[in-house]
Structure 1
């Protein structure tokens, strides 16, 4: 059997397909781990990670087992090593260069958000079609003309795009982004976008999230509150 046929070769963590729920929780674990690293903490238990993420410790152990990290009973996980494994699994060891299209209130707020850089995302461009905004400076970025989208994406080597646009123009701009070779898109536009199967599109609809929150809020049972309400 040749080396290429050897079945014992482990699959790289970053190449494994992780369950969506696990991916979401890994981002929470990583945030806590990075905080512990900053404090000089060397080890952490699954119980501590579970508490920070609001899940059970069994979930933590199962999630981390996908990465080949099992911890040591009574000792826990090595913070630096686990942080590195999670970052690799999430693809954060790559260079992610983000362009934001739309310099309205949301786009400007996103451009100013310092948390992107600390999590491995470099915002390299901010674009808008409004000529009153083009050329102005938002934070450390100068707003580029959306008419030059393809040129800006190529020049900045952007490999992710955030769409902070009204529904009326979101699809046409999204099409241009895809045609320009950027296949990872986060959309805040209040509309369903159509993209090819090879494009990774994530949609953030804040109105929908608030509606879901309202649904759960009306069903929320506050301890002691019902007992204080007078009977009808």
Structure 2
């Protein structure tokens, strides 16, 4: 039996967006949705949507559209969301604490099972019902919980050693918020989320549209200089 061709990474990212939209529609009681509606809500064109969904096999009915719950469940299965994924998070600064305390991950199949930080001042704090542990316990927690996903929210200078430890402990998927490119061994997938880069892209797009130039920071300072 031939296996289905590998789904391109860009398509996988869009499938995750479709899943979010479909979940919202299902929660609101919708039973069917047209390709145009789904595409518009996901920010893609209908032809692109249909091409993405073609990787899943026959999905919709001409003139009717897609059954919301059926398509949601099929995409969830393809993305591996039928079971919960145990995650560990390293770096409990402002960003890390916000991620750890966000309750929306659980409803999407992700559960933090370990929070870690190198600062003695943060160790022992409770965030989202979990205690912050010392980084020295990282490997033991990964082994005990079977965590498969690691989230790095540390300063740039320590992100690579954390990545190395996560990979050595058996974590095979890493989401990196540190502003540095990580090197991971074969078999370990790393996704980079650099918020400053995303803001720079938005600033460029804003400039391309001929937007009003931004206000200089020194123009906002009170007389006598910045506080």
| CA–CA separation in structure 2 for the residues paired with 1:131 and 1:28 | 38
CA distance in 2, matches of 1:176, 1:68: 39
Aligned equivalents of 2:73, 2:210: Cα separation in 1: 40
Cα separation, 2, equivalents of 1:221 and 1:89: 41
Deviation at 1:129, TM superposition (A): 0.9
- Separation (CA, whole Å) in 1 of partners of 2:58 and 2:19: 14
For the pair 1:201 / 2:227, whether they are aligned, the reply is: no
Note the 1:23-34 alignment, pairs <5 A. 23-34=12-23
The residue correspondences of 1:40-51 to structure 2 (distance < 5 A) are: 40-51=29-40
Q: Which residue of 2 aligns with 1:87?
A: 76
Distance in 1 separating the partners of 2:179 and 2:46: 37
CA deviation vs aligned residue, 1:67-124 (integer Å, no higher than 9, x gap): 0134111111111110111111112123310110011111100001111111110111
* Residue aligned with 2:175, SS: strand
Q: Please name the residue that 1:104 is paired with.
A: 93
Which one of 173, 178, 200 corresponds to residue 184 of structure 1?
173
Q: Which runs of 4+ in 1 moved over 3 A?
A: 9-12
- Could you say which residue in structure 2 is the equivalent of 1:166? 155
2-side partners of 1:188 and 1:214: how far apart?
20
2:58 to 69, 90, 97: 69
Q: Distance in 2 between matches of 1:20 and 1:152?
A: 30
Structure 2, unaligned stretches of length 5 or more?
A: 213-227
Determine if contact 2:102/2:128 at 8 Å carries over to the other structure: no
**1:59 is paired with a residue of what secondary structure?**
helix
Task: Give the TM-score normalised by the residue count of structure 2.
Answer: 0.88
Partner of 1:228: none
Distance 1:113 1:69, change over 3 A: farther
Distance, in Å, in 2 between the alignment partners of 1:136 and 1:102 is 13
Matched residue, 1:20:
9
Q: 1:141 aligns with which of 130, 139, 142?
A: 130
TM-score scaled to structure 1, two decimals? 0.87
1:156 aligns with 2:148: no
Tell me by how many angstroms 1:10 deviates: 6.1
Asked if the contact 2:31–2:69 (Cα under 8 Å) also holds between the matched residues in 1, the reply is yes
1:11 lines up with 2:3 in the alignment: yes
User: CA RMSD for the aligned pairs?
Assistant: 1.6
In the comparison of the two structures, how many residue pairs are matched?
212
Counterpart contact for 2:7–2:55, Cα < 8 Å? yes
